[in-house]
Amino acid sequence: MPALFEPLKLRSLELQHRGWVSPMCQYSCDPDAAPGVPNDWHLMHLGSFAAGGAALILAEASAVSPEGRISPRDAGLYNDAQAEAWQRITTFVHRHGAAGAKIGAQLAHAGRKASTWWPFSGKHGSVPVSDGGWTTLGPSPLAFEGYAAPAAMMAEQIQEVISDFAAAAVRAVEAGFDTVEIHGAHGYLLHQFQSPLANLRDDEWGGDETGRNRLMLAVVDAVRAVIPDSMPLLLRISATDWAEGGIDLPASVRLAREAAARGVDLIDVSSGGAVAHQSITPRPGYQTGFSAAIREEAGIPTGTVGLLTSAGQAEHAIATGQADAVLIARAALRDPHWWLRAAFELGHDIPWAPQYERALPRRTF
């Protein structure tokens, strides 16, 4: 059996293989009639991956509060209407997943990178209040380049964010999600607090590494406390800021080790996003080394993501011990049946939806 298609168990969640879908924002909620509520587009988008053979589908970043949305068109899990809409999607995935697909919620707060124009709006930067935007929040009043400056968060606002993550996690469980991932990467709020490039505070939520990691770990504790013991908890981090003076890999290993001790079951390893002046040379597998180091040195399962587009690349990452799972993003947008094709290319059979079985490559007519 190819390593990519070996089963994986996290707590009581049994996954049929290690090929997953990375969270990808769709910017497709109706900001006027149903803000933050996923709709038919999200059902089709995520459902296609279930039919395409994915073992675990991580849904797009769902904001834990209205001001936590990346854009006015982003999804949320901060009210019951959103949870009910998500339940329709989780039910569909469970019913029609070809490979017994499971689905996870990614909980997020965009912090100073919130209230931005969505990518296909034709506009850039922050959305003004007059156009449906809002004043953003951050650890310090430092703007992300090209965006409006955030308001520095007060201590009580930080506590509210922790509570918001916990409340959203409860809704995720009620909506039928199989796992929860905390988004602590890509320059969003938890990463902003973690990175010395965005956090200039001198109180308990800033300063040294312990202070800057405090919010991330407090959210981990709050979410772990409200989801079932049997449900795995995932944490996405940026392993490096790719910028002088920012987070580096040794710091991320230390964070991962602490997260594991607090009940995180897998670190979803990405990188970058804290600042616009980061220096990255993307190439296939450019992040797998981060995943491998965290897996080995922190002693926790990891997922890897980033320009892994072929079955061979994904197989190599798993077979060589660089990760326990490979998360596919843009390649899945190009081919929502990526996992069925990958299994065929690696000489392995996984279940197909019965409606599609006539297209099985091994059949002759």
Q: How far apart are CA 171 and CA 319, in angstroms?
A: 36
Q: How many CA atoms lie within 13 A of 320 on its CB side?
A: 14
- Do residues 333 and 326 make contact, with C-beta atoms less than 8 angstroms apart? no
| Contact between 4 and 17 (Cβ < 8 Å) | yes
DSSP-assigned states of every residue in 16-62 = S-SEEEPP-----SBTTTBTT---HHHHHHHHHHHHTT-SEEEEEEE
Is 356 an annotated catalytic residue? no
For 357, residues 6+ apart whose C-beta sits below 8 A from its C-beta are 363
CA distance 36 to 249: 34
Torsion of CA 246, 247, 251, 255, to 10 degrees: 140
Q: Which one from 78, 188, 286, 356 is the annotated catalytic residue?
A: 188
Instruction: Give the helix/strand (H/E) hosting 288.
Output: helix 288-298
- List residues with catalytic annotation: 188
